[in-house]
């Protein structure tokens, strides 16, 4: 159908799948699958099938092809789309159907079973524990971690009239919105891919939404952004903007490929944030935010936050220390222990 290849145009913004259209994706996958019948792929990349997930898989593929001549040959790399439980169940909030592992479980199983060779994930979807027989040794360079505000009627959250509805599936965003703007309402079962959420906004189901700027950049859809929230106004999710690539723990060849792509500064920052999340035993039921970055002195600056879903209670902390693996892990854990102590019993079981 022609509509699959063309952008959907709404009054004030433009929705498209990405720089490579849906038809381009499907055509590429069809070619890869056809090629794989005559030539066995050297490397199979497992990914979800959303436009953003495919953009991340293709970014990984392109980096591998640029770094390794044998992978640049036609048919050497195959993209394998895997539908996860989280993709299938869109009618309920994530917290009600099992949390973040819903977007990785089936891909991890395919990796362990040998159906794929590497798995490409959005790091904020990856649980703090990794399945047995897998490792995640590679993070690509991190994209912009900030959240984007998108609305057809207001320039910012502060400009929304009292009673306006903001759509977000994230309890982290919900709690921080309500903490600063208690007169707003939040529709928390606002799920679907980027294109679906923008369509719901254009239909007037909500008056505004927040999306990760990283995803919009990777899809070349930043023209839809109304404004960008600062880190001070909206602390990002743990590992937001980071891509992680996993392989089997006994697959030295794949580990070698991934080592050539790893961006160590991103890996250390994400490790700090995930240590914080692990200490808090965070899930989709608890609003948690965390961000580590290199400051102007070359040290690691970490900021962490936990909140009640209604935004009434927000606890924050920060740490500064050496930008080295053991130090960043220690900072994350220590910050988590502090907020656990300050929150008190019952805070995380609400």
Task: Give per-residue pLDDT as tens, 10-60.
Answer: 344 554 444 444 444 443 444 444 444 456 899 999 999 999 999 999 999
Cβ atoms 119, 173 nearer than 8 A:
no
Class of residue 46 by CB neighbours under 10 A (exposed 0-12, middle 13-18, buried 19+) = buried
Q: Span 40-140+242-262: which CATH code? A: 3.40.190.10
Residues whose CB is less than 8 angstroms from the CB of residue 6 and which lie 6 or more positions away in sequence, other chains included:
none
Cβ atoms 225, 213 nearer than 8 A:
yes
pLDDT digits (tens, 9 = 90+) for 249-284: 999 999 999 999 999 999 999 999 999 999 997 655
Q: Span 147-228: which CATH code? A: 3.40.190.10
pLDDT digits (tens, 9 = 90+) for 55-100: 999 999 999 999 999 999 999 999 999 998 776 766 666 666 665 6
Annotation says 144 is catalytic = no
Domain with CATH 3.40.190.10 in the chain: 40-140+242-262, 147-228
- Cα separation of 138 and 269, whole Å? 13
Name the catalytic one among 108, 117, 125, 251.
125
- Cα separation of 60 and 341, whole Å? 40
- Cα separation of 291 and 275, whole Å? 11
Residue 3: φ, ψ to 5°:
-65, -25
Rounded to two decimals, what is the model's pTM?
0.85
Topology of the domain comprising 263-343: Double Stranded RNA Binding Domain (3.30.160)
Residue 246: φ, ψ to 5°:
-110, 155
Q: For residue 56, what are its two tokens?
A: 């991340």
């Amino acid at each position: 159908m022609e509509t699959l290849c063309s952008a959907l145009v709404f009054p004030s913004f433009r929705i498209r799948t990405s720089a490579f259209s849906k038809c381009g994706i499907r055509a590429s996958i069809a070619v890869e699958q056809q090629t794989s019948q005559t030539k066995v792929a050297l490397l199979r990349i497992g990914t979800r099938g959303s436009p953003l997930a495919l953009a991340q898989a293709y970014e990984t593929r392109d980096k591998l092809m640029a770094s390794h001549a044998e992978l640049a040959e036609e048919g050497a790399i195959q993209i394998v789309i895997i539908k996860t439980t989280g993709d299938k169940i869109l009618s309920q909030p994530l917290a009600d159907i099992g949390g973040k592992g819903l977007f990785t479980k089936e891909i991890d199983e395919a990796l362990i079973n040998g159906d794929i060779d590497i798995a490409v994930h959005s790091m904020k979807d990856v649980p703090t524990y990794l399945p047995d027989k897998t490792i995640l040794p590679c993070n690509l360079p991190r994209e912009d971690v900030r959240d984007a505000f998108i609305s057809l009627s207001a320039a910012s959250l502060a400009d929304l009239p009292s009673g306006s509805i903001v759509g977000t599936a994230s309890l982290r965003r919900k709690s921080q919105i309500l903490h600063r703007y208690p007169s707003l309402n939040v529709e928390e079962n606002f799920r679907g891919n980027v294109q679906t959420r923008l369509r719901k906004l254009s239909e007037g189901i909500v008056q505004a939404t927040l999306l990760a700027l990283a995803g919009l950049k990777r899809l070349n859809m930043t023209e839809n952004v109304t404004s960008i929230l600062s880190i001070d106004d909206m602390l990002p999710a743990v590992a937001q903007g980071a891509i992680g690539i996993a392989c089997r723990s006994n697959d030295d060849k794949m580990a070698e490929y991934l080592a050539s792509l790893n961006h160590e500064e991103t890996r250390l920052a994400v490790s700090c944030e995930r240590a914080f999340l692990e200490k808090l035993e965070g899930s989709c039921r608890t609003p948690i935010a965390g961000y580590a970055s290199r400051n102007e002195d070359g040290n690691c600056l970490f900021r962490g936050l936990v909140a009640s879903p209604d935004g009434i209670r927000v606890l924050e902390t920060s740490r500064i220390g050496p930008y080295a693996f053991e130090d960043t892990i220690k900072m994350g854990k220590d910050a988590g222990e502090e907020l656990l102590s300050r929150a008190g019993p019952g805070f995380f079981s609400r």
